[in-house]
Amino acid sequence: MTARLVISPAANRDIDTAMAWYDDRRENLTNRFIASIQQRFDYMLKNPLAATPISGTSVNRTPVHGFPYAIFYRLVNDIVRVIAVIHTSRDPKYISSRLRP
C-alpha cells in the first residue's frame, strides 16, 4: 500500500522548532535531522502499518532515527496524517494532549 502524506500545521511547527534548535547547535545538524525525518516519512508511506500503535488510540508512533524525536500519525484510508513530531523526553501529559482528536 502506498499512502499519501499530510502534515498538520502543528507538526510543521514542531519540525520548525526542532530545526531552529539544531541550527543553533551545530552546522549541518539541521540537514541531518531533516534527512532523517524525510527517510521516516518515505518509510511510513510505503509501510503505514509498520509503526507502533499507541494503546487505546488510533495513533501510531515511529522514531526518528539518530534523533530523540518520534513522529505521531493517524492512518485514515490511504492518508498518513502526521499530527506531531515530539521530543521523546517531553512530559507524557503533553504528548497525550497533542494526540487527542
pLDDT in tens, 54-101: 888 889 999 999 999 999 999 988 899 999 999 999 887 877 888 776
Predicted pLDDT at 84: 94
User: Position 13: which residue type?
Assistant: R
Predicted pLDDT at 91: 82
For domain 4-99, the CATH architecture is 2-Layer Sandwich (3.30)
pLDDT in tens, 26-64: 778 999 999 999 999 999 999 888 888 888 888 999 999
Measure the CA–CA gap between 55 and 80, rounded to whole angstroms: 18
